[in-house]
Copies of this chain bind each other. A is one copy, B any other.
Amino acid sequence: MSHVEHTTLDPLGADESRALLMTAEIGRLAFTDEHGPTVEPFGFALEGPHVVIAVGARSGARAAVGQAVAFQVDELDLVHRTGWSVVAVGTLHRADPETSARPEPWPGGDDERALLVVRVERLSGRRLRRDPRRAEPSASR
């Protein structure tokens, strides 16, 4: 392939990962349902370090309470080949009924919602950037 882009994936620290997580509106929850692994998009709110989602009655995520899950957010620019991805890993719990977190009820789909919380134990991320040193054409090759 003559047009392979030269890009670099930089790991992100927890502080930067958290700052990026705060900018996102939608994330994707990876969990296991009766058919195996699956992923569903959700709106979310942060409550301290934890991720609160509003889950409809028909979402398989309701049955995932107690599981170790991953909640991933990203911003990807396919044209410029830049972007970032952040993953929060923790156990899924029912939210404290007293929670003040008000996650966007997205995707919607029904009215009966349960608030669930990912109690985040590990936050990590990666940023993709173009590497200018390597992107320069080399006449010697």
Contacts and interface: CB of A to CB of B under 8 A. Distances in A.
Q: How many subunits of this chain does the assembly comprise?
A: 2
A105 B41 CA distance: 24
Contacts of A70: 30, 36-39
Contact of A9 (B1, B35, B74, B107): B107
Interface stretch (A14-22, A44-52, A80-88, A93-101): A80-88
Interface in A1-43: 1, 4-9, 25-26, 28, 30-31, 35-41
Interface SS, A side:
strand
A66 interface: no
A136 interface: no
Interface of A: 1, 4-9, 25-26, 28, 30-31, 35-41, 56, 58, 68-70, 72, 74, 76, 78, 81, 83, 85, 87, 89, 102, 105-111, 122, 126, 128
Contacts of A39: 28, 30, 39, 70, 72, 85, 87
B4 A85 contact: no
A55 to B, nearest CB: 12
A72 B9 contact: no
Contacts of A83: 41, 107
Given A5-B105, A37-B68, A83-B107, 12 more contacts: A9-B56, A9-B110, A28-B39, A30-B38, A36-B89, A38-B72, A39-B39, A76-B107, A81-B106, A108-B128, A109-B126, A109-B128
